[in-house]
Chains A and B, each alone.
Chain A
Amino acid sequence: AQKVTQAQTEISVVEKEDVTLDCVYETRDTTYYLFWYKQPPSGELVFLIRRNSFDEQNEISGRYSWNFQKSTSSFNFTITASQVVDSAVYFCALKETSGSRLTFGEGTQLTVNP
């Protein structure tokens, strides 16, 4: 069975600090997809990234970066120079190629204080 664990329930940082959100996953499939979503206070789900299990290259998009390590089953997300607007709940999710469902972690509430 697939499972996603986000051990950090809440993180609080001061603006301009770097912050890393952890995500550990479990799957029996050899091919799968990993996702990160942002849920701001308004409640909608904002897609951030989709990563194929074949592609272990790290990715950077502006202040966001993702570190995918298959050896440790982790897909961590780092925000560099955090801003107040980054305050949100962040979800990591997993989809096995053999299945249809997206399995979410419990989310990490990030609060960036001015």
Chain B
Amino acid sequence: NAGVTQTPKFRILKIGQSMTLQCTQDMNHNYMYWYRQDPGMGLKLIYYSVGAGITDKGEVPNGYNVSRSTTEDFPLRLELAAPSQTSVYFCASSYPGGYGYTFGSGTRLTVV
């Protein structure tokens, strides 16, 4: 059981560059989420999806985009990287109602 798989695990970007953080789950969960965790802080929700073709903004969506073309995949796109986006990014998935909430191992992103 792979659960939630995130790639890459680490990445350094230059200001203004773009990248996509990949997230795949194999549990047939309807719901998927992207969170960011700044140093010494809790996780904040960036975007979430309740099913293929449906996405919605979380608390901190500025500077990010998402898409959900399949149940399994939920990529997060950074178009113009800024130092404020230096953070650890966690992808998660769940069934409706909070059952089976599962996190990936995280992507540590540094923007310089």
Contact = CB atoms under 8 A, between A and B. Distances in A.
A50 B98 contact: yes
B90 A102 contact: no
Contact of B98 (A37, A95, A107): A95
A64 interface: no
Contacts of B44: 104
Interface residues of B, number: 27
A96 to B, nearest CB: 9
Interface of B: 31, 33, 35, 40-45, 48, 50, 56, 58-59, 88, 90, 92, 96-99, 101-103, 105-106, 108
Contacts, number: 57
Interface stretch (A13-21, A39-47, A65-73, A76-84): A39-47
Nearest to B88: A43
Interface of B, secondary structure class, is strand
A105 B108 CA distance: 20
Contact of B101 (A43, A50, A106): A50
Q: How large is the interface on A (under 10, 10 to 19, 20 to 34, 35 or more residues)?
A: 20 to 34
A62 B24 CA distance: 33
A102 B105 contact: no
24 contacts: A4-B42, A33-B98, A35-B98, A35-B101, A43-B108, A44-B105, A47-B101, A47-B102, A50-B98, A50-B99, A50-B101, A91-B43, A95-B98, A97-B98, A100-B31, A100-B48, A100-B50, A100-B96, A101-B58, A101-B59, A102-B33, A105-B42, A106-B41, A107-B40
